[in-house]
Amino acid sequence: QVQLVESGGGLVQAGGSLRLSCAASGRTLSSYAVGWFRQAPGKEREFVAAITWSGARTYYTDSVKGRFTISRVDAKNTVYLQMNSLKFEDTAVYYCAADPAVTVVHTRWDYWGQGTQVTVSS
C-alpha cells in the first residue's frame, strides 16, 4: 500500500505560481509512476501531468505545457508539480496518484491522495 498526501495548494492571483507536493508513505515511490489530476466543480477529473518511475519521461496535458513542471525526488519519496503563469481555469482540486504505469485514464491509477485546493483569482 502507498499512502499519498498532497500539499501546497492555496489562493493565488492569475499569473502567479504554486508548487504542489505529493509525499508518499508506506512504500517507496521509486517503483511507481506518479500523476497529477485535477477536478473542477461539476467537471470530470482530468489528467494534468505524469512522470515515469525512473523520471526519464514526463507527460503533460496541452493546456499546461510550458507552464507546469513535474519532478520527483525519490530520496524524499516526493513528487512535485511546479505551476507557473497560473490561470483562472486552473482552479480545481489537485490530486496525485501512483501506479506502475502511466495513463491519462484516472480510473486506472491504483493509489490516490486526498487532494489539495488550488484557487486562481482573475
pLDDT value at position 23? 97
pLDDT value at position 94? 98
pLDDT value at position 73? 95
pLDDT value at position 79? 97
Task: Please name which of 86, 117, 115 lies closest in space to residue 6, comparing C-alpha atoms.
Answer: 115
SS3 64: helix
pLDDT value at position 59? 97
CA 93 to CA 45: how far, in whole Å?
Answer: 9
Q: How does DSSP classify residue 106?
A: G
Low-confidence residues of the chain: pLDDT under 50: none
